[in-house]
């Protein structure tokens, strides 16, 4: 059985809520969890089989909207 994958990102603090709402609007794809609000680190918990869709969304947010999503670890 496939497992949920976890990915850490550093973002801009003022973007955390926007990212949560945007990513979680894709029902069942991923959940956003704030790991460290001071350092603006979020964790994406990605459902099995949704990695490619999430990658496309992240690249779009970065290129089209100029949002910082810096992969950690």
* Coil, helix or strand at residue 67: coil
Candidates 1.20.120.1200, 2.40.50.140, 3.90.1150.10, 3.30.70.100; CATH matching 5-72: 3.30.70.100
**Residue 36: C-alpha distances to residues 12, 13, 21, 33, 39 (Å):** 12, 10, 18, 9, 6
Displacement of CA 7 from its chain's centroid (Å): 8
Tens of pLDDT along the chain (73 residues)? 679 999 999 999 999 999 999 999 999 999 999 999 999 999 999 999 999 999 999 999 999 999 999 999 7
Q: For 25, list phi and psi in degrees, rounded to 5.
A: -70, -20
* Coil, helix or strand at residue 59: helix
């Amino acid at each position: 059985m496939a497992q949920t994958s976890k990915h850490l990102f550093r973002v801009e603090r003022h973007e955390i809520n926007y990212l949560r709402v945007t990513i979680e609007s894709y029902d069942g794809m991923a959940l956003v969890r704030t790991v460290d609000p001071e350092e603006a680190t979020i964790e994406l918990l990605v459902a099995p089989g949704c990695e490619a869709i999430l990658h496309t969304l992240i690249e779009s947010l970065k290129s089209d909207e100029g949002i910082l999503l810096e992969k950690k670890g």
